[in-house]
Each structure stands twice: as C-alpha cells, then as structure tokens.
Amino acid sequence: MIIPCIDLMDGKVVQLVQGREKALEGDAPLAMLEKFEGFSEIQVIDLDAAMGRGENRGLVEMLASRAKCRVGGGVRNAERARKLVEQGAHRVIVGTAAFTPAIEEIAVAVSPQNVVIALDSKHGKIVVKGWQESTNFTAEDVIGRLEPFCGGFLCTYVDKEGMMQGTDLDWFRRLRAATSHEITAAGGITTIDDIRALKAMNVHAALGMAIYTGRLALAALKDE
C-alpha cells in the first residue's frame, strides 16, 4: 500500500528535510486531499503539535472527517487519541507517548488495532518530540515489546527524510524480520524501485517529498 502524506505546519501543508528545514509548501490541505483521492489511506501529521509549539487541530479534524486518514502529531494521551477517532480518524499515530505509560491507556481507549506506533530512527537511535530528542535505544530493541499496544508501526528513516536520496532498505528488512505486525516505511523513499522493494518485503510506503516535487507521479503510483 502507498500512503501519501499531508504534513501540517502553521496552517499550511509542508515538507521538511530531516524534520527541521522547510523545503516546500504544498497546495491548501483540502486541495491536497482531492489530489490524493483514490489512495486507500492518507497520513496526516500535525508537525506543530509534535514539536510542542502549537497545533493545527481544526485542519486535522477536517481532513480526518473527509478521508480515511491515519493521524499523528502530539497524540500524547488517551483523551486526544479517543477524540481523533471520534472525529473520523481511521487510526492514530503515537510517537513520544509510546515510550511512556500513556501508551497502555491509549491502546485501551481506542483499541490496539487503531494505534500505529511511530519508530523514528536517526543515527540508529529512536528520536521523539518531533525528532528533537534522541533516546538510547533502537527500533529493533523496542519493536517486540510494543506489539501489544498497536496494530502496526510507522518506521521513519530520519537520516534521509526529505532528501530524495533513497532509503535504507536493509533497516526495513531487519524490522520486518523482528515483527509480524504491519510496517509502514517512510524517509527517503524516492523511486518506484524503492516502493517495489518494500512491497516485496510486505512493507507499506508513506510518501511525501517524492510526490510533492513531482519525482513520482500520482497517476503512476495508483497503478502500483
């Protein structure tokens, strides 16, 4: 499955490089939603909420109510997760809170199948709080013990995020071997060959920069 991404910052659709530098802005959120019509699922991330510097709650709610969306960014407690599901989110993406006791409460509140845990890796270590803080453990260290609290994992190779240089397929192979849960890959996925290699591993592909720059055409992706 190919999952187009809508990342929100300051009320706009953006693409960042390694979660820091804004590289470009997309069309208005609703226009992007229309462009992505026909894809099975869309990923919506509130970057401001993830970084703890505001939120785009109204836009998130609007998008979740109009399409099948997995929604993340600042989902730090059960109340927020439950609210997103009530507003139409198909699934909620939990990053920082997955490494706190709150993950158990979130899983109970919305059911594990409705939770996607984000395992974002930079220089080999999990990063949290909008990729601003590094931890001391790897995705391989934690993926097994987090399985009871989710239905799948969103694994982002932050080192190549937004850089259009390809991704680390070997990393995704190791993660695929470590869990039977659904895995969605993100970060640096640039070519159809990348997508096909991931598909061969039974790994979904979340796409951002390659779509927004036109490197990958939406029409061609719908045929994959």
**Alpha-carbon span 61 to 64, nearest angstrom:** 5
Q: Which helix (H) or strand (E) holds 76?
A: none
Residues in the chain: 224
**Does residue 141 have an active-site annotation?**
no
Q: Phi-psi bin for 51: left (phi > 0), alpha (psi -120 to 50), beta?
A: alpha
**Does residue 120 have an active-site annotation?**
yes
Catalytic residue among 46, 48, 120, 194: 120
Q: Are 32 and 59 in contact, with CB atoms under 8 Å apart?
A: no
Q: Phi-psi bin for 160: left (phi > 0), alpha (psi -120 to 50), beta?
A: alpha
Please list the active-site residues.
7, 120
